[in-house]
């Protein structure tokens, strides 16, 4: 393990950390429900992907 030779300044530390930031996720509007969702994913509420029904909802039967 190396020993610290010189102290790093606050500006140097800030410049190094300037790229450590969160990226905002891309959000699209689902045309069937009008809700916001992530792109290229089947919406769990409607079950549609690219305008086609891919996932059917399960109906809960009451006893």
Integer distance in angstroms from the first to the last C-alpha of the chain? Answer: 67
Can you give the three-state secondary structure of 14-26, one letter per residue? Answer: HHHHHHCCCCCCC
* Predicted pLDDT at 1: 67
Sequence length of the chain is 63
pLDDT of residue 63: 60
pLDDT at residue 2 in the model: 73
User: Distance between CA atoms of 56 and 14, rounded to whole angstroms?
Assistant: 50
Q: How do the domains of the chain map onto residue ranges?
A: 22-46
Identify the three-state secondary structure at position 49: strand
Residue 45: φ, ψ to 5° = -75, -45
pLDDT for position 55: 83
pLDDT single digits (tens) 12-62: 999 999 999 998 989 998 888 888 988 998 887 788 888 888 888 777 776
């Amino acid at each position: 393990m190396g020993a610290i030779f010189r102290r790093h300044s606050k500006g140097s530390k800030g410049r190094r950390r300037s790229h450590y930031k969160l990226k905002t996720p891309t959000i699209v509007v689902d045309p069937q429900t009008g809700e916001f969702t992530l792109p290229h994913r089947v919406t769990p509420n409607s079950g549609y992907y690219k305008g086609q029904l891919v996932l059917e909802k399960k109906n809960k039967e009451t006893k």
